Structure 1
Amino acid sequence: MASVSASHLILFIASMVIAAGVAGTFTQGVSRLSQGIDDQSLEVSEEVRTDIEVISDAGSPVYDNSSNTVTILVKNTGTSTIPAESQFIEILLDGQYQTNVTMTVVDGDRWRPNNVVRLEIGGADLSSDDHRVKLIVNGDEEVFRFRS
């Protein structure tokens, strides 16, 4: 009878060691999954709170032939402050990525909700035709169409 108890004890200890290893693996996996969900939710929250709107009039002259500059006004209609620096906004002019961009906050020191920035896209040698500017900020996209 003692031999049966010893073998049962050995099997019990072995099953506990295996169970502890499996539980540790699951705990680690759940922890990584939880961290990933937290990171993703922060990004989604930032995207949801970001909204911009081009307020320039498409019928007004936004393109200056002499300086080859397109100037448009963009309003922050979201609930979060957006850094007023060109690396935080992606701009495509007629499908071409633009890097010669100057941003100036028109009505304040930061691009807070309801504030407006002036975007000046330099080096834009445009013909007399229909054009479009696509703006992307934190996943929010706006398209502005105009004639030069």
Structure 2
Amino acid sequence: MKIKSVLLSTTVATSLLLGACGNMDDDKEMKKDDKMMESKMEDKKMDDKNMMMKEGMFKGENDQMVKGKAMIKDGKLMLTDFKSDKGPDLHVYLTKNGDVEKGMKIDKVKYDEMKQTFDLKDVNVKDYDTVTIYCDKAHVVFGNAMLK
């Protein structure tokens, strides 16, 4: 009789222990799935930021000439029909209201190349409303394109 009781107790204890281990693994799997979903949602948010489309036309500033169209689409900044006065160190920036000091420097821009494309990887486009052509050496804004 004692052997049956010990055997039954051992069986019940083993079952409970193994059942608890299985539940722990399920919790880990659920947490892992939750993290994967959060990661996918973050990726989607980044994709949404990069998929946003904005565009505007350049206007010259400070007696400088800048013409053409700026468009942000699919995570890229594209300049088309672009033309600018020559400058010693021209760069394209994303800015808020043309404020270069708080803006994001993207890359050098060629004053005489009509089509130019710049990658905006890891840039939150929603933070900016203007594309600015700026001469770093002379500290002069050549032109802005307000994005809509």
**Which interval holds the TM-score relative to the shorter structure?**
0.3 to 0.5
The alignment's TM-score, normalised by the length of structure 1, stands at 0.46
More strand per residue: 2
TM-score, reference length from structure 2: 0.46
